[in-house]
Structure 1
């Protein structure tokens, strides 16, 4: 029977630590298993093992010789312990004696996953028996990895409480399966049944009975995944607290163990442990989409992705709990609709964005449980340690042999050539840092060996990497192949997962949170990346082209000869130039380093017009800021990066105006028409017709009372609100900044002309042929620059 282990955990059985797992079988039933064949263990160097017989006996440790070594080649011995507690105590004793340990800090289930290679779907073989909590229970079954995607059941949860979260009003449950259309929806609330209660609404007389019914429904729906918006830090935490208050067993899982929360000082890092299931916070998963949101409130994200939001209109400064409780008391249909829609929104966001499929795919690729699948450090360490074991090596315990220096060298930025340009080709190194690692054999073990022997491939910063084929390039090679295959099969989730995992490896190697990190190693990657970008700049310059800008892995190259070609030939030339550049780079890398190049410079896009703005002082350029008119065989579109039009700290009016002016600039609109448009916008604004577009939106990052030395406008506005908010929306008035809903003075339109419109116009006017100050004033004389040709050419 094929199966998916949803949760792998450990417990005690007859005084020994054993592994348990629970999950979903391919026939829809649930299963559990016990495995006592892989006891807890860790390693020490053989040179440190003698003379400690009393210590081994004290902690009941069994010492075994192995043919394994540390990463720097020292032989190790394995210490096997009866329980995880024994292991932790022995590790502590050894640490006090100054004896190095290896893999002693590993979570036992993580160690089990690494040792057995269990991740994703497995084939279960062996005898089983029925169990109270699962349909089938196996003891020491034979398991082998198989292909396939599990059809898991998901439950979205939302609760509503009073303002103190001390009293429950009601909750909603929305259940569905990943690979079928089966769905259920229901609302549980406190109060007597009413004739106007919506369908699937269950009224309970008091809080205790509602909590009991909630637990019954969770066990009956039997989800593999429980989710919701901030479901860990709020919904489930409140339900746990209230269940304890009423003496109700808070066990929502597939074992007899109580479910419990683990709080964290960091937002979004808490856990809710429900044995046999996984709790995934939808709010945290949304962080991994490609969409940038103004904030991560459910209503904001839902409006952006689904075009709908919460059913009760509540401003952030309003008392939301009071408004919801009022609906609960006097408008039951509205309350039921509100609480139910919150769970529906979570479901529809996850489905629309494919986030559960992404999380499942990433979990399989990284060998991590679903709840930890998005952790970059854990993913790297688990993959790398599995490969280390295949080579007979062990990893250091975190904090042992680590470098205290983090990588500090970033990507190279080539100074932009300010101005308006024509016929620009954009070239981009495909997966720059992963490709650098593959090409130059960059890897923790290769680094240790290279620096020890002083021979190998030397990076510009002096880091040396041994030439013997290393682990990390091998992992990346497989990932590149699997990603290409996934793209050919149309498996977007898998292809995207491979990409983001590979791209995270550099960051992991640059932070001391990873046991394999080293600052010099990480800087070796970035300095090689810089060298490659400079090499490409030189290559294109020698070909007679002008490199207008470069940033880490991208080059923007002006190719004047494109002006005489049809569009299809322009695009074909871009492909041809990238192919020739790759061939030349491969030859250069072999000549200098004797390595086979895995670098691939791709032709990414073609801009008919391309604009690089000056800084606001007019004395230099602005890195990571540009706009262009992108053209391909199917469409033409305006692309903007970094400029005010795509920044949330500028008003909607300024953002809109900049987009309009850029479009006019690229369409070669005569300057008189551009000025006419600017003046029309100013007149409409001054007439009060555009007040809806004059709203500033600023996030408040500190308590209001912490602003003492200076008081920015958004803080002044926030202090006028009756309640503290995370994001304040305000307008500038004749009496200063005032928040929406509390605007009492006239809007200061002159402020917006000077602080929002004028800076936008100033950035474009020199390249469009008119003067910004006069375009933004009421004067028309001396408006146009003398050096602008009548035919409006550059």
Structure 2
């Protein structure tokens, strides 16, 4: 009767989106099996079909979007234990009913008087799911629109695939042919500078970091698969940028594919941020534009990592290697200057440094 009632609700309400937490991994499969045991079909698709596992691993429902918020929480490093309660707390909501552990639920459900506890717990989880969904949906829609991956797949897709779909979207505008995907062996390369932190509990510390360091390095030095100069090819040294340590060369002109694709993203984000200053944070337009700039930031910062991903269509190890080499040089110069002006360096990592705060000296470092 529960499953029949659920199917009637879906049919009558006819939702575009069905959202859950952990639903891709377990809930839909479990519901389908329970329906089958009771001689029913879980016909929740708009064409009367049942949920099925798609080619990419997520649950697909014909005519509807099946969203699993667990896929969203996996992209938030600050949430170490990926529970619904922790996601809700991160987004500003709190559970109102004591959490039930899975082994506790069957005996409670079997007792008619205690069953209400399960119902209250389930209702509270539904409330949390909807509150998290309200916070998440604008971002998910904007990310889906930006990279042209369907909404029910964009959060299950690996970051590399999101970047790749964005690059494929850009390829026509830049006259770039889309390469075939070719299997490649993994070859490690030197990464970022990470300093050993000074031991102890520190106070009066300021953290300074570079804005979009790797994307800006790639744009400045025109790092791209189509500007890379193969070893042994003779070229005027004044016509190329040469990466420190590794010696990889990239043509200064014309603009490479990556420079064009990144420029689009950075310019779009800068324009959106200008527009946000004139809007009320509570307005619908603000929410949509803020979600858009966050989606752009995620893709922009992921382009560098995509370059060194062996599954990438536009894979070129020298691109990732050269980008980190310029990044190391930049951070080392920054650390040297910080020490030269008398700042005590506490820690440094990739694109940021932590120093003992001194207003005048910190200002000189920022202006460096």
RMSD: 3.0
Deviation at 1:528, TM superposition (A): 0.9
Pick the aligned partner of 1:240 from 15, 19, 32.
32
**Could you say if the C-alpha distance between residues 547 and 314 of structure 1 is closer, same or farther in structure 2, counting changes exceeding 3 Å?**
closer
Deviation at 1:383, TM superposition (A): 1.7
CA contact (8 A) 2:147 2:169 kept: no
| Aligned equivalents of 2:86, 2:356: Cα separation in 1 | 40
Look up the match of 1:259. 50
Q: Which runs of 5+ in 1 are unaligned?
A: 1-203, 205-209, 563-569, 582-794
Deviations 1:515-541 (A, max 9, x none): 222323211111110011112223334
Deviations 1:660-699 (A, max 9, x none): xxxxxxxxxxxxxxxxxxxxxxxxxxxxxxxxxxxxxxxx
| Aligned equivalents of 1:283, 1:549: Cα separation in 2 | 33
Pick the aligned partner of 1:270 from 33, 51, 57.
57
Matched, 1:436 2:234: no
Look up the match of 1:364. 145
Look up the match of 2:120. 337
**Could you say if the C-alpha distance between residues 542 and 221 of structure 1 is closer, same or farther in structure 2, counting changes exceeding 3 Å?**
same
| Aligned equivalents of 2:34, 2:178: Cα separation in 1 | 44
Look up the match of 2:79. 292
Deviations 1:252-272 (A, max 9, x none): 22335x2332289xxxx7321
Q: Secondary structure at the match of 1:413?
A: coil
**Could you say if the C-alpha distance between residues 427 and 219 of structure 1 is closer, same or farther in structure 2, counting changes exceeding 3 Å?**
same
- Report which of the two has the higher share of strand: 1
Matched, 1:488 2:274: yes
Look up the match of 2:259. 473
**Could you say if the C-alpha distance between residues 332 and 292 of structure 1 is closer, same or farther in structure 2, counting changes exceeding 3 Å?**
closer
**Could you say if the C-alpha distance between residues 438 and 303 of structure 1 is closer, same or farther in structure 2, counting changes exceeding 3 Å?**
closer
| Aligned equivalents of 1:555, 1:332: Cα separation in 2 | 54
Pick the aligned partner of 2:172 from 383, 389, 397.
389
Deviation at 1:387, TM superposition (A): 2.5
**Could you say if the C-alpha distance between residues 313 and 539 of structure 1 is closer, same or farther in structure 2, counting changes exceeding 3 Å?**
closer
Tell me the TM-score normalised to structure 2 length: 0.82
Pick the aligned partner of 1:282 from 69, 73, 76.
69
Look up the match of 1:320. 104
Q: Which runs of 5+ in 2 are unaligned?
A: 277-288
Look up the match of 1:149. none
Matched, 1:578 2:366: yes
Look up the match of 2:13. 221
CA contact (8 A) 2:224 2:259 kept: yes
Q: Secondary structure at the match of 2:126?
A: helix
Deviations 1:106-125 (A, max 9, x none): xxxxxxxxxxxxxxxxxxxx
Look up the match of 2:348. 550
**Could you say if the C-alpha distance between residues 422 and 337 of structure 1 is closer, same or farther in structure 2, counting changes exceeding 3 Å?**
closer
Q: How does 1:746-761 map to 2 (within 5 A)?
A: none
CA contact (8 A) 2:60 2:152 kept: no
| Aligned equivalents of 1:423, 1:273: Cα separation in 2 | 51
Deviation at 1:438, TM superposition (A): 1.0
Look up the match of 2:191. 410
Say which one has the larger Rg: 1
**Could you say if the C-alpha distance between residues 472 and 274 of structure 1 is closer, same or farther in structure 2, counting changes exceeding 3 Å?**
same
| Aligned equivalents of 1:407, 1:254: Cα separation in 2 | 48
| Aligned equivalents of 2:251, 2:231: Cα separation in 1 | 8
- Report which of the two has the higher share of helix: 2
Q: Secondary structure at the match of 2:300?
A: helix
CA contact (8 A) 1:286 1:355 kept: no
CA contact (8 A) 1:310 1:342 kept: no
Q: How does 1:552-567 map to 2 (within 5 A)?
A: 552-558=350-356, 562=358
CA contact (8 A) 2:269 2:297 kept: yes
| Aligned equivalents of 1:338, 1:424: Cα separation in 2 | 43
| Aligned equivalents of 1:417, 1:308: Cα separation in 2 | 37
Look up the match of 2:132. 349
**Could you say if the C-alpha distance between residues 255 and 538 of structure 1 is closer, same or farther in structure 2, counting changes exceeding 3 Å?**
same
Matched, 1:526 2:324: yes
Look up the match of 1:505. 303
CA contact (8 A) 2:309 2:315 kept: yes
Pick the aligned partner of 1:463 from 240, 245, 248.
248
CA contact (8 A) 1:434 1:502 kept: yes
| Aligned equivalents of 2:57, 2:189: Cα separation in 1 | 30
Of 432-441 and 384-393, deviating more is 384-393
Q: Secondary structure at the match of 2:129?
A: helix
Q: How does 1:350-749 map to 2 (within 5 A)?
A: 350-351=133-134, 354-374=135-155, 375=157, 376-399=159-182, 403-418=184-199, 425-447=206-228, 449=229, 453-455=233-235, 456-460=240-244, 461-467=246-252, 468-490=254-276, 491-558=289-356, 562=358, 570=359, 574-575=362-363, 577-579=365-367, 581=368
| Aligned equivalents of 1:339, 1:546: Cα separation in 2 | 53
Q: How does 1:152-231 map to 2 (within 5 A)?
A: 204=1, 210-231=2-23
Deviation at 1:437, TM superposition (A): 0.9
**Could you say if the C-alpha distance between residues 224 and 344 of structure 1 is closer, same or farther in structure 2, counting changes exceeding 3 Å?**
same
Tell me the TM-score normalised to structure 1 length: 0.40
Q: Secondary structure at the match of 1:524?
A: helix
Q: Secondary structure at the match of 1:556?
A: strand
**Could you say if the C-alpha distance between residues 244 and 433 of structure 1 is closer, same or farther in structure 2, counting changes exceeding 3 Å?**
same
Q: Matched residue pairs, number?
A: 348
**Could you say if the C-alpha distance between residues 540 and 223 of structure 1 is closer, same or farther in structure 2, counting changes exceeding 3 Å?**
same
CA contact (8 A) 1:233 1:263 kept: no
CA contact (8 A) 1:533 1:552 kept: yes
Deviation at 1:415, TM superposition (A): 4.3
Deviations 1:164-202 (A, max 9, x none): xxxxxxxxxxxxxxxxxxxxxxxxxxxxxxxxxxxxxxx
| Aligned equivalents of 1:344, 1:440: Cα separation in 2 | 49
CA contact (8 A) 2:341 2:361 kept: no
**Could you say if the C-alpha distance between residues 223 and 450 of structure 1 is closer, same or farther in structure 2, counting changes exceeding 3 Å?**
farther
CA contact (8 A) 2:24 2:58 kept: yes
